[in-house]
């Protein structure tokens, strides 16, 4: 039978992620293509203990329906961390719990975008955001992301000339590029936005994962009422719980709450209580220090091997996070490297889907958090062989 689907589906980019997950599941393939935090760094002992405490103490409450905004003590914990870590006067009333950062993308687009509205993103931009936004049929405008942040004249042009509803960016260790905005750029961006009514949407999945452990001041610091931040426990505690949040001014959060309720009533309450218990009975800073130490070593290893084995491949130099981006030698297509890589037992992610307007065909995103150091060494040898062989043909 023929189904009469909505027009928005024709705007959905054909997703690469399904293929990726299948590839990642093949144990013979070393994958730099995915975006999983290291399973070895999930504190299963601590989470187990917190889980047992929650099911012992008041299981019926944790297993019952709750309010849409989320578990108040968890929201207070999150607000308090913004105050202590970044000096931002956040309150629990400005925090709404969601199912990981991805749900923020969907619901934020839902409250702002009419069909045909303009929205700004980085180029390259985060694939999950492109997928979520596209379903609301906006015009997606891009600003080139360079070392140090978005190209300022292009950003200024976008904000002044297009009536973008919001600009979405990942200032800290961006996915896919691994780039971080400089502090100056953040201030300048805020200055440009201040003269418009465009909102800045900072996706901060990686802000806790800087190798130097120094927090960066968000754009919201300069524009409290004109910016929101989305955060997530996926990269620092456990993605399988699907718990993230949005930190937004009341004028936005009341609308966000309406669409969150319509979307799924509330996020998993059981895991909200477990997370809160875990966070208040463990030292989060120590745990994050462990993660960062390992990720920094893996990132250095991957960069060093790239430079040693593939000197013609240029790459970004992440200050944190889980990804770097590499540019292939002249003439080589990342899709070819992907296809050949699979045959040789190594997966990379072609940059193409991160460019809504085409381009990026010679770029690849590489993840350094999932694989072990041994896997990174072996995977880089395989990748070097693939690229070297392709250059000969």
* Given 26, 89, 215, 262, the residue binding a second copy (CB under 8 A): 262
Q: Rounded to whole angstroms, how far apart are CA atoms 316 and 303?
A: 9
Q: Residue 118 in contact with residue 162, Cβ under 8 Å? A: yes
* Given 31, 68, 173, 371, the residue binding a second copy (CB under 8 A): 68
Q: Rounded to whole angstroms, how far apart are CA atoms 140 and 332?
A: 27
Alpha helices in 223-347, H assignment, sequence order: 250-264, 269-281, 284-309, 334-344
* Given 29, 30, 78, 110, the residue binding a second copy (CB under 8 A): 110
Q: Rounded to whole angstroms, how far apart are CA atoms 121 and 170?
A: 9
Minimum Å gap between C-beta 340 and a second copy is 25
- The residue (of 255 and 297) whose beta carbon lies closer to a second copy is 255
Q: Rounded to whole angstroms, how far apart are CA atoms 344 and 121?
A: 35
Could you say whether residue 384 binds a second copy (CB under 8 A)? no
Minimum Å gap between C-beta 217 and a second copy is 20
Q: Rounded to whole angstroms, how far apart are CA atoms 108 and 259?
A: 9
* Given 140, 271, 324, 364, the residue binding a second copy (CB under 8 A): 271
Q: Rounded to whole angstroms, how far apart are CA atoms 178 and 251?
A: 32
- The residue (of 61 and 293) whose beta carbon lies closer to a second copy is 61
Where b means 16+ CB within 10 Å and e means fewer, 273-284 reads bbbbbbbeebeb
* Given 102, 174, 180, 230, the residue binding a second copy (CB under 8 A): 102
* Given 75, 88, 95, 103, the residue binding a second copy (CB under 8 A): 103
Tokens 């399904």 map to which residue?
18
Could you say whether residue 66 binds a second copy (CB under 8 A)? yes
Among the residue ranges 58-66, 279-287, 303-311, 349-357, the one whose residues contact a second copy (CB under 8 A): 58-66
Q: What angle do CA 59, 64, 69 make, to 5 degrees?
A: 115
Prior bond to 176 cis, omega within 30? yes
Minimum Å gap between C-beta 207 and a second copy is 19
* Given 64, 80, 290, 388, the residue binding a second copy (CB under 8 A): 64
Pairing type for strands 323-327 and 346-347 reads: unpaired
Number of residues lying near a second copy (CB under 8 A) = 85
Largest CA distance in the chain: 65
Minimum Å gap between C-beta 282 and a second copy is 15
Could you say whether residue 250 binds a second copy (CB under 8 A)? no
* Given 209, 241, 279, 322, the residue binding a second copy (CB under 8 A): 241
Prior bond to 124 cis, omega within 30? yes
Could you say which residues in the range 195-214 bind a second copy, by CB under 8 A?
A: 197, 199
Minimum Å gap between C-beta 231 and a second copy is 15
Handedness of CA 193, 194, 197, 203 (dihedral sign): positive
* Given 177, 180, 267, 371, the residue binding a second copy (CB under 8 A): 267
Minimum Å gap between C-beta 203 and a second copy is 14
Pairing type for strands 95-98 and 244-247 reads: antiparallel
Binding mask 138-167 for a second copy (x = CB under 8 A): ---------------------------x--
Minimum Å gap between C-beta 307 and a second copy is 30
Alpha carbon 112 to its chain centroid, in Å, reads: 20
- The residue (of 140 and 332) whose beta carbon lies closer to a second copy is 140
Could you say whether residue 65 binds a second copy (CB under 8 A)? yes
Could you say whether residue 294 binds a second copy (CB under 8 A)? no
- The residue (of 117 and 202) whose beta carbon lies closer to a second copy is 117
User: In 3D, which of 361, 365, 306 has the Cα closest to residue 335?
Assistant: 361
């Amino acid at each position: 039978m023929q189904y009469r689907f909505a027009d928005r589906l024709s705007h959905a980019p054909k997703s690469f992620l399904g293929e990726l997950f299948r590839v990642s599941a093949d144990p013979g393939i070393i994958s730099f293509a995915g975006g999983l935090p290291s399973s070895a760094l999930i504190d299963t002992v601590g989470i187990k203990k917190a889980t047992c405490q929650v099911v012992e103490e008041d299981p019926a409450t944790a297993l019952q329906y709750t309010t849409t905004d989320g578990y108040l003590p968890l929201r207070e914990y999150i607000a308090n961390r913004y105050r202590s870590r970044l000096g931002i006067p956040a309150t629990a009333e400005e925090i709404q719990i969601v199912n990981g950062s991805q749900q923020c993308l969907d619901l934020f687009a839902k409250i702002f975008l009419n069909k045909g509205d303009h929205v700004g993103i980085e180029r390259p931009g985060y694939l999950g955001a492109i997928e979520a936004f596209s379903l609301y049929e906006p015009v997606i405008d891009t600003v080139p992301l360079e070392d140090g942040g978005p190209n300022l004249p292009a950003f200024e042009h976008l904000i002044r000339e297009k009536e973008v509803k919001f600009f979405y960016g990942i200032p800290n260790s961006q996915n896919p590029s691994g780039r971080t905005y400089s502090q100056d750029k953040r201030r300048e961006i805020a200055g440009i936005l201040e003269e418009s009514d465009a909102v800045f949407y900072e996706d901060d999945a990686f802000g806790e994962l800087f190798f130097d452990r120094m927090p960066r001041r968000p754009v919201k610091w300069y524009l409290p009422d004109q910016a929101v931040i989305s955060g997530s426990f996926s990269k620092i505690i456990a993605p399988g719980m699907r718990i993230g949040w949005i930190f937004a001014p009341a004028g936005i959060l009341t609308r966000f709450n309406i669409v969150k309720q319509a979307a799924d009533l509330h996020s998993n309450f059981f895991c909200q209580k477990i997370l809160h218990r875990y966070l208040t009975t463990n030292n989060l800073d120590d745990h994050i220090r462990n993660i960062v130490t390992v990720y920094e070593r893996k990132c250095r290893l991957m960069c060093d091997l790239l430079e040693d084995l593939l000197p013609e491949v240029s790459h970004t130099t992440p200050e944190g996070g889980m990804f770097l981006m590499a540019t292939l030698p002249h003439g080589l297509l990342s899709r070819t490297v992907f296809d050949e890589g699979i045959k040789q037992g190594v997966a990379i992610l072609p940059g193409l889907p991160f460019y809504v307007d085409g381009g990026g065909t010679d770029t690849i995103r590489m993840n350094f958090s999932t694989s072990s150091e041994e896997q990174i060494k072996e995977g880089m040898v395989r990748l070097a062989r693939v690229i070297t062989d392709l250059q000969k043909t």
